[in-house]
Structure 1
Amino acid sequence: MSDKTLGSPTPEPQGGFARDPEDWVTGDEPMTEAQRSYLDTLAREAGEEIPADITKAEASEHIDRLQKSSGRVSGGSDELQTGG
C-alpha cells in the first residue's frame, strides 16, 4: 500500500468545497481552460474585463462574485472551481 492517500480521516463540512481558494495547494497555478471559458462567459454577461493571466484561486473568486451578481447558481461545476 502507498504512503500517499486521498481524502481525510475526518469528515470536512460540505465535503471541503467551502475551502478558501487562498488555501488551495494549486491555487497559484494558472486558471484551467474550463475556468477561463466560464469566466469569459460570466464577464461578458456582466460587461467586465478580467485579466487573462490570473491564477486558479483568483479565477474562482471572480466566478463566485460574478455568479452571485448575475443570479447564476453553482451546481455541478465543481470541476471549474476545484483547485486542490
Structure 2
Amino acid sequence: MADEDELNPKNHPTDNAEKDPDDWVTGDEPMTGAQRSYLKTLSEKAHDPEAYAEDISKAEASKRIDALREKSGME
C-alpha cells in the first residue's frame, strides 16, 4: 500500500502542471497580453506571419507558441 505522503498531491505539485490547452477551463478566453507579445515575436523570428492572429483564444495561442518554439528549436 502507498505511503500517505506519496498520495498527497501537495507533495507532487507539478504532476498535473501541464494540461492540454484543450482541457483548460479558461482556454476559450482571449489570449493574454503576454501570449500576444510572445506569439508575435516568435512568428516574426520563424518567418511565419500566418501563425500570429489578434483574435485567438488562450488555448490556441498556447498551441501556436509551442509549435513555433519547436519549429525554431527554442524548446
Q: TM-score range by the shorter chain?
A: 0.7 to 0.9
User: Identity of aligned pairs, percent?
Assistant: 54
Cα deviation for residue 17 of structure 1 reads 2.7
> How far, CA to CA, are the matches of 1:15 and 1:33 in structure 2?
27
> How far, CA to CA, are the matches of 1:17 and 1:45 in structure 2?
28
Which residue of 2 is the match for residue 20 of structure 1? 20
Over aligned residues, Cα RMSD in angstroms?
A: 1.9
Question: Is 1:39 paired with 2:42?
Answer: no
5+ residue gaps, structure 1, are 1-8, 74-84
> How far, CA to CA, are the matches of 1:46 and 1:17 in structure 2?
27
Give the TM-score taking structure 1 as reference length: 0.68
Q: Which has the higher contact order (CA 8 A, sep 6+)?
A: 1
Question: Is 1:53 paired with 2:52?
Answer: no
Work out which of the residue numbers 46, 52, 70 in structure 2 matches 1:68: 70
Work out the number of aligned pairs and report it. Answer: 65
Which residue of 2 is the match for residue 10 of structure 1? 9
> How far, CA to CA, are the matches of 2:60 and 2:40 in structure 1?
14
Give the TM-score taking structure 2 as reference length: 0.75
The structure having more radius of gyration, on CA atoms, is 2
> How far, CA to CA, are the matches of 1:15 and 1:35 in structure 2?
24
Runs (4 or more) in structure 1 with deviation over 4 Å come to none
